[in-house]
Amino acid sequence: MDPFQIQLPKELNHLIMMYVLISKIINNIWVEYTCYCEGISNIPQTTLIFPIIFHELDFYESLLARISTHLPEDVLKELQNEEDFWHW
């Protein structure tokens, strides 16, 4: 799936909700990846898991960047500040 083919909402509130949702998905992927890597005691038999994870991250980060371009600067700054806080 191409993140540039996904239709973005027109309303500001819907864009904000989508931004928050995608941001949380990205954070969850990083948490799962970190926990997985911390639990590895030896190299997995299949290293294909890593390209899959990073492809998924790239997809969501590209989508998040697209959403960001449609948000007013003050709203985006506030969302990023909140994101920094709740990602701890």
Q: What is the pLDDT of residue 26?
A: 93
- What are the structural domain ranges in the chain? 11-26+54-88
Q: What is the pLDDT of residue 81?
A: 86
Task: Give one DSSP letter per residue of the chain, joined into a string.
Answer: --TTSSPPPSSHHHHHHHHHHHHHHHHHHHHHHHHHHHH-SS--S-TTHHHHHHHHHHHHHHHHHHHHHTS-HHHHHHHHHHHHHHT-
pLDDT in tens, 20-64: 999 999 999 988 888 877 877 777 666 777 788 889 999 999 999
